[in-house]
Amino acid sequence: MLKICGKVLESGSKLKCSLGPEGYPMPVTLVSGKNPGKTLLITAQIHSGEYAGTPAVIRLANEVDPDMLDGNLVLFHLVNITGFYEGMNAYVPEDHGNLNGCYPGNTDTVSGRIASFFVNEVFPFVDAVIDLHGGGMNERLSPCLFYPGANDDVRKKSIEIADATDIPVFIMSRSTTGEVGYAGNILGIPSLLLERGYGGMYEKEWGDKYYRDLRLILDNLGMYHTDMVTACEKRDFTEAIYMESADNGLWYPAVELNQVVHSGDYMGKVEDLYGNILSKYYAQADGEVMYYRTSMNAVKGHNLVSYVLY
């Protein structure tokens, strides 16, 4: 049996519905397995221009057989639905709130109420959280995932789930204000933020790979069997640098995805609109580029290059 957000499902049943704070219905599938087990929350598109997770969640929602499931699934197909239809890269258009930075939320803004809804109505009833992202419209990105590093127990349990996926790079996160950061680092729920795809695009390969990741995770949690296995080698990084622009201007990157950089290597420049150099960027340590800005508009305080440290 699954009881959540005012819904009650008998064991061995599935319900397609809408859930969310008042006035903000999000498409959801709830699945109550025939046998007891863990309750897993999966969310897609808290950042509305990061598409690859949604088709995978919809496919899982449609294909999963409740009679073969141990435990429960709480599947949010598309969280930032107003941003999706407004063509927003990431933020909630009503207040420009970032659902990966506004937890635990509030009652004053739409993004705050969405975060508060998850904190109060969803997180207390789940055993693990998987949140599906991708590089946004402004960037290219190499598949990676973030796990909470606040305490040994949640870190260990999160990495065990991560090991089941096909994602090759793990990055420890100390964030406490995102969905996964709050669930993992504040509430101690094993959680992962997965990243696949980029550029405000959807490619079938990315959705298919996300579907595989989800099936592998469900198998790992003892919830839903698959014969799929992962042969992907993993690397774990505890430190990363998120290099921000010091200026507004034109951004000219000089890095590639997965490029190995050494301390002092040139990474790009920002010029003003007359061609004068405002700032040049150099690697501050040895590492590897995981994602970088591809759009030309450098915005002060916004990310230019992110690289994990060796």
Interface with Zn ion (CB under 5 A): 47, 50, 133
Euclidean distance between CA atoms 135 and 89, whole angstroms: 10
Q: Minimum CB separation from Zn ion for residue 238, in Å?
A: 21
Of the pair 64, 179, the CB lying nearest Zn ion is at 179
CB 191 within 8 Å of CB 150? no
* Residue number with CB closer to Zn ion (47 or 209): 47
Q: Which of 113, 110, 116 is nearest to 92 (CA)?
A: 110
Give the residue with the Cβ less far from Zn ion, 47 or 196: 47
Compute the least distance from the CB of residue 135 to Zn ion, in Å: 8
Angle at 296 between CA 291 and CA 301, to 5 degrees: 65
Task: Give CA–CA dist 165/158, Å, rounded.
Answer: 12
Judge contact between 133 and 195, C-beta under 8 A: yes
Which is nearer to Zn ion, 133 or 215 (by Cβ)? 133
Torsion of CA 159, 231, 200, 303, to 10 degrees: 50
Least separation in angstroms between CB 39 and Zn ion: 24
Distance between CA atoms of 22 and 20, rounded to whole angstroms?
Answer: 6
- Report the residue count for the chain: 310
Q: CB-wise, 91 or 251, nearer to Zn ion?
A: 91
Select from 253, 251, 244 the least CA-distant residue to 300. 244
CB of 306 to Zn ion, least distance (A): 12
What gap in Å lies between CA 230 and CA 72, rounded to an integer? 23
Looking at beta carbons only, is 89 or 284 nearer to Zn ion?
Answer: 89
CA distances from 159 to 193, 224, 243 (A): 11, 19, 26
Distance of closest approach, residue 59 Cβ to Zn ion, in angstroms: 20
State in angstroms the smallest separation of the CB of 14 from Zn ion: 28
Residue closer to Zn ion by CB (options 47, 155) is: 47
Q: How far is the CB of 50 from Zn ion (least distance, A)?
A: 5
